[in-house]
């Protein structure tokens, strides 16, 4: 139909926001200003409303961070509530809509926390934003530590553990066998999370070949999280130099006290040839692991980064033992440039490490982490602490790529940053965001909805719908605005989107 000599223009599809260049160049199937809509095939409708996810009298409020926490019995939530009046953060475990535990961890100054699930447990690291030389950086709280939460409502405790202390007494037992000579003996405490402390109460004793060995006044830790204590010993020392830390300790077979109360372990027989399981590495492990702003997993190792004292330090555990971290061989010093480590993610068997404007990689060479080779991947692009999209419970990789928020835009990363960016159509919108508050950005990928959700420093949410394709020209962007500032987002129970917000 013609109106005043103008031909009608039919718009049979809508492809979302376009903020790139001058407005006269905006395609007809995009808008330069729109919000609170969602996409239906080629059409649109208003976005869904929101409701309170907790069905309790006093829900957790002033939420700063939410994580989906998978436990052996189902998906739950870890939620950080922050009280600005007291500068105190409290973490709650929301098990169901009607059951909330906690606070499981309360810390002054905790405005955020890093989290990784492992073996049904939650590893939690409190951190905050600090201003250093007019630059806001995220790093672990001063004099704080990594914590482990059992998932059962009990208060989170410090990961790791201190060695046993006390005066161990040793004597010859009944008839048995040992290799005659001087040995060092000690006990290792094992916690409920499987962590073995360093050998403690180290004591020397000369065994004789025709007798077993008995132990009295075995130290007890008094820690309710200690389940058992293991006897460790050196092989025969022909010339003892007085250094109790300089010899190799081994676990003695069948020499365990299955509690933390008994004070005796009697009549233990063994030969030096039976000592195969090395325990000496426990002497170098952290008893208390410093808090950081970054937690991740690589090759079944827990990875922690950006501590209060060293923002360029990576701390890696022994494979399969997330709390066993060697203070020498388990450290990687990322090249210092004044910027903190912000993220660590595994992709294609490579560990990628980011700073705000740099990306590097390390590859497990089968040796200790301190020997892993470094490769500079990108000297201009990096991301923030929550700037790599998480995907349900599987971490951050989607099949064969990561979705990363950089200063340049929202990009796919497959070992390099792919251009043009996914956010190419909204480049001006993205560049208008505050770089000073870039660490407040969080991104998640919801594959069921085929949507990306990005929490912005403004308290609004940017949604990218990729049902037509994960492609810069096919993805459709839409800002969402709510009546309260949004601080965090999590995907819960496969396809439930949970937002964390301040009180309206």
pLDDT, tens digit, 9 for 90 and up, residues 327-374: 999 999 999 999 999 999 999 999 999 999 999 999 999 999 999 999
Q: Of 284, 308, 332, which residue is a domain's last?
A: 284
| pLDDT at position 448 over 80 | yes
In the chain, what percentage of residues exceed pLDDT 90?
80
CB proximity list for 71: less than 8 A, separation 6 or greater = 120, 151
| pLDDT at position 1 over 70 | no
Query: Is the residue at 472 inside a domain?
Result: yes
| pLDDT at position 395 over 80 | no
d(CA 60, CA 54): 8
What pLDDT, on a 0 to 100 scale, did the predictor assign at position 504? Answer: 62
pTM exceeds 0.75: yes
**Side-chain-side CA neighbours of residue 352 (13 Å):** 23
CA-wise closest residue to 409 among 362, 452, 351: 452
Q: What share of the chain is helix, strand, coil (3-state, %, to 5)?
A: 5, 45, 50
Find the domain containing 244 and state its range: 169-284
Q: Of 242, 257, 284, which residue is a domain's last?
A: 284
**221, 260 contact by CB (below 8 A):** yes
Query: Is the residue at 162 inside a domain?
Result: no
d(CA 337, CA 124): 27
| pLDDT at position 303 over 50 | yes
Q: What is the pLDDT confidence band of residue 17, given thresholds at 50, 70 and 90?
A: very high
Query: Is the residue at 72 inside a domain?
Result: no
Distances in whole angstroms, Cα of residue 99 to Cα of each of 148, 154, 155, 302, 317: 20, 14, 16, 29, 33
Query: Is the residue at 183 inside a domain?
Result: yes
**500, 492 contact by CB (below 8 A):** no
Query: Is the residue at 137 inside a domain?
Result: no
**Residue 16 CA to its chain's centroid (Å):** 34
| pLDDT at position 139 over 50 | yes
- What distance, in Å, lies between the first and last C-alpha atoms of the chain? 48
Query: Is the residue at 317 inside a domain?
Result: no
What pLDDT, on a 0 to 100 scale, did the predictor assign at position 397? Answer: 46
| pLDDT at position 396 over 90 | no
Strand partners, 38: 45
What pLDDT, on a 0 to 100 scale, did the predictor assign at position 465? Answer: 95
Query: Is the residue at 95 inside a domain?
Result: no
Segment 51-72 shows an average pLDDT of 85
Number of domains making up the chain: 2
Q: Of 284, 303, 325, which residue is a domain's last?
A: 284
**Side-chain-side CA neighbours of residue 255 (13 Å):** 27
3-state secondary structure of 69: strand
Query: Is the residue at 98 inside a domain?
Result: no
Q: What is the pLDDT confidence band of residue 72, given thresholds at 50, 70 and 90?
A: confident
d(CA 312, CA 333): 6
| pLDDT at position 83 over 60 | yes
d(CA 321, CA 325): 8
Distances in whole angstroms, Cα of residue 149 to Cα of each of 69, 75, 78, 110, 410: 11, 15, 11, 17, 33
Mean pLDDT of the chain, nearest integer: 92
């Amino acid at each position: 139909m013609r109106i005043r000599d103008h031909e009608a223009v039919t718009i049979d599809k809508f492809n979302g926001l376009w903020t790139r260049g001058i407005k006269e160049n905006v395609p007809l199937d995009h808008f330069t200003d729109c919000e609170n809509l969602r996409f239906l095939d080629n059409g649109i409708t208003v976005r869904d409303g929101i409701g309170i996810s907790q069905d309790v009298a006093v829900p957790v409020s002033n939420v700063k961070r939410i994580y989906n926490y998978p436990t052996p019995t189902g998906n739950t939530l870890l939620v950080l509530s922050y009280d600005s009046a007291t500068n105190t953060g409290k973490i709650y475990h929301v098990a169901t809509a009607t059951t909330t535990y906690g606070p499981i961890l309360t810390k002054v100054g905790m405005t955020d926390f890093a989290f990784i699930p492992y073996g049904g447990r939650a590893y939690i690291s409190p951190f905050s934003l600090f201003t250093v030389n007019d630059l806001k950086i995220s790093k672990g709280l001063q004099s704080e530590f990594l914590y482990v939460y059992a998932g059962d409502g009990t208060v989170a405790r410090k990961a790791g553990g201190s060695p046993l202390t006390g005066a161990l007494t040793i004597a010859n037992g009944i008839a048995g066998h040992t290799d005659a000579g001087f040995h060092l003996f000690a006990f290792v405490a094992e916690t409920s999370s499987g962590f073995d402390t360093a050998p403690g109460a180290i004591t020397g004793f000369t065994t004789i070949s025709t007798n077993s060995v008995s132990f009295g006044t075995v130290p007890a830790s008094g820690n309710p999280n200690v389940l058992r204590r293991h006897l460790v010993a050196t092989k025969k020392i022909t010339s003892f130099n007085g250094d109790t830390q300089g010899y190799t300790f081994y676990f003695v077979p069948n020499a365990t006290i299955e509690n933390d109360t008994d004070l005796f372990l009697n009549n233990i027989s063994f030969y030096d040839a039976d000592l195969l399981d090395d325990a000496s590495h426990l002497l170098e492990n952290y008893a208390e692991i410093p808090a950081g702003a970054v937690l991740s997993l690589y090759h079944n190792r827990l990875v922690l980064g950006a501590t209060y004292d060293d923002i360029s330090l990576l701390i890696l555990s022994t494979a399969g033992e997330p709390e066993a971290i060697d203070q020498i061989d388990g450290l990687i010093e990322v090249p210092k440039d004044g910027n903190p480590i912000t993220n660590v993610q595994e992709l294609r068997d490579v560990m990628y490490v980011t700073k705000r404007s740099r990306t590097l990689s390390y590859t497990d060479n089968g040796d200790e982490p301190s020997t892993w080779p470094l490769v500079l991947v990108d000297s201009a692009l990096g991301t923030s602490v929550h700037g790599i999209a998480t995907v349900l419970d599987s971490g951050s990789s989607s099949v064969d790529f990561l979705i990363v928020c950089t200063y340049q835009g929202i990009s796919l990363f497959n070992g390099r940053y792919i251009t043009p960016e996914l956010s190419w159509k909204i480049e001006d919108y993205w560049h208008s965001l505050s770089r000073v508050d870039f660490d407040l950005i969080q991104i998640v990928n919801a594959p069921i909805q085929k949507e990306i959700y990005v929490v912005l420093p403004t308290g609004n949410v940017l949604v990218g719908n990729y049902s037509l394709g994960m492609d810069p020209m096919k993805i459709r962007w839409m800002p969402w605005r709510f009546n309260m500032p949004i601080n965090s987002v999590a995907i819960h129970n496969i396809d439930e989107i949970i937002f964390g917000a301040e009180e309206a």
